[in-house]
Amino acid sequence: MSVRLLEPARAELDDAITWYAEQAPGLGDAFLIETLRTIQLIEQYPTAWHPLTPQIRRCRLRRFPYSLVYTQDGNDLLVVAVAHQHRKPGYWRARLS
């Protein structure tokens, strides 16, 4: 099983890394490492995380206020959003159509 990111999710990841890198040295790298660890977790345990709908799940990062919103796409997992937990809830739903 592999994990893919939608292009908007990739852009969100890049934006968050850049923002955290501007806040403190090494913080952008820490955010990326945390995100990659979370991706590994959902790859290992795809059904272990909070279901938002029957097809969509959310796994929260531990250190940062972000979640990976994902769905199963055949044998792969598709990350729909790298979503800040306190901004625009559900904005990513339009990406599913």
CATH number (domain holding residue 50): 3.30.2310.20
pLDDT at 12: 97
| Helices assigned H by DSSP within 5-52 | 7-23, 27-44
Q: Could you report the per-residue pLDDT of 11-29, keeping only the tens digit for each?
A: 999 999 999 999 999 999 9
Q: Is residue 75 classed exposed, middle or buried when 0-12, 13-18 and 19+ CB atoms within 10 A define those classes?
A: exposed
Residue 93 lies in a domain: no
Residue 34 lies in a domain: yes
* CA pair distance 30, 72, nearest whole angstrom: 27
Q: Could you report the per-residue pLDDT of 28-81, keeping only the tens digit for each?
A: 999 999 999 999 999 999 999 989 999 999 999 999 999 999 998 888 999 999
Q: How far is CA 4 from the centre of its chain?
A: 10
pLDDT at 96: 81
Residue 64 lies in a domain: yes
Residue-number span of the structural domain to which 7 is assigned: 3-86
